[in-house]
Amino acid sequence: MIAVDDDPDAPGLAHADVAELTDVDAPDEVEGLARRHGVDAVVTVARDRAVPVVAEVAERLGQPSLGPDVAHRFTHKLAMRRMLAEEGLPQPAFAAVRNLAEGRAALETVGLPAVLKPTDADGQRGLFRIEEPGDLESHLHAALAESSSREALLEHLVEGSEMNALVVALGGAVRLVSLSDRLRPGHVGFGVARGHVHPARIHSDQLGAAERTAERVASVLGLREAVGVVQLVATPEGGVSVLGAAARVPGGQLAELVRHAVGIDLVELALRFALDEDVLEEDVLPRRSEPVAIRYLTAAPGELPTGHVARIGALGPVLSAEGVVAAETYLSPGDVVRKLRTAADRYGHVIATGPTTVEALDNADRAAALVVVEVG
């Protein structure tokens, strides 16, 4: 396995047979490395930024590819919104913003509260909640700075229960694999998931609408022979709205949650698609449906202290806690723990099962409370 990144500290490099440092936003550079090593497939997991490059390089190599157009629709939020609008799919009111004058005009259309985000960044970087017009002026520069095209998107904030729908496109059809609740803070760091619970806890009518909407979104955006994720919100009024989508295996251990919950290995499926191996319908059908929860380790609003890490306790008590199937910390002595703002401010996770979703989440929370991180 050849791992490519522009960050010498990227965790995946240490697990690869060969590690290469290069500009992962440059298709020519990645293609050159792929040809030099004679790779059989090009794939990304959990990184939206890499999806267009992977699609471009795979196409140049004559390997299975989403194609640059589909990759663009999945990773450029404005292009995605426009396509979904053309197909009449339920989504928030939105407007493109390139300067403060456009932002003020957009507020009149979109309304408050709103969400401001770069059109082409990931990991919740440059994401802000806009409660009043002054918030737009305070945060617009930071949102634009995270966009390679210096463009942002303003969307109406849709309140409700957020969910992640994992889907697989196979043979011209999109199939739902799992639907889980996405648990997030209320305000600061509001875009970052602090946990997930499978299965989603909404009533049957809304559940059916969410499943159909997720499959339709992936189909409209052009997902084919690939794994994808659609983010939805179930509103208190009984509706469903589309928050976003990605054409890749999701990050944040969601693939691991799916493996424990329904018995499907999304990473294996993505590799088989990239290698042009046969994937059968039975390979994407859930084997079971078990309550499973993830709780991430974070500082406020989580329990970790902020500051420079002095010591990390052993994970033995965490792993032996009731219902726990996996646990990990991403910290080393000397690292800095910060308050939750982006996905990079999650410093570990606990995955647990239970007889019900409530008990699975309780098990994850109790185990997470056993994690010891001392700061100096």
Per-residue pLDDT of the chain (376 residues; tens, 9 = 90+): 899 998 888 888 888 999 999 998 899 999 999 999 999 999 998 888 899 999 999 999 999 999 999 999 999 999 999 999 999 999 999 999 999 999 999 999 999 999 999 999 877 888 999 999 999 999 999 999 999 889 999 999 999 999 999 999 999 999 999 999 999 887 667 789 999 999 999 988 899 999 999 999 999 999 999 999 999 999 999 999 999 999 999 988 999 999 999 999 999 999 999 999 999 999 999 999 999 999 999 998 888 999 999 999 999 999 999 999 999 999 999 999 999 988 889 999 999 999 999 999 999 999 999 999 999 8
Residues 143 and 202 in one domain: no
Distances (CA, A) of 277 to 28, 40, 183, 289: 26, 11, 35, 27
CA 207 and chain centroid, separation: 21
Q: Which of 122, 156, 190 is the last residue of a domain?
A: 156
pTM above 0.75, yes or no: yes
Residues 110 and 216 in one domain: no
- In angstroms, rounded to a whole number, what is the distance separating the alpha carbons of residues 52 and 40? 18
* 54 lies in some domain: yes
Q: 166: which residues sit within 8 A by CB, 6+ positions away?
A: 176, 177, 178, 179, 180, 227, 228, 229, 250, 254, 258, 266
Residues 115 and 234 in one domain: no
User: Residues 162, 202: contact at Cβ < 8 Å?
Assistant: no
* 164 lies in some domain: yes
* 82 lies in some domain: no
Residues 169 and 285 in one domain: yes
Q: Which of 156, 176, 193 is the last residue of a domain?
A: 156
Residues 243 and 192 in one domain: yes
Question: 172: domain CATH number?
Answer: 3.30.470.20
- Number of domains within the chain: 4
Q: What is the pLDDT of residue 240?
A: 97
Question: 106: domain CATH number?
Answer: 3.30.1490.20
Residues 181 and 152 in one domain: no
Question: 41: domain CATH number?
Answer: 3.40.50.20
Residues spanned by the domain of 135: 93-156
Residues 19 and 125 in one domain: no
* 360 lies in some domain: yes
Q: Which of 129, 156, 183 is the last residue of a domain?
A: 156
Instruction: Tell me which DSSP letter residue 109 carries.
Output: H
Burial class (CB in 10 A: 0-12, 13-18, 19+), 232: buried
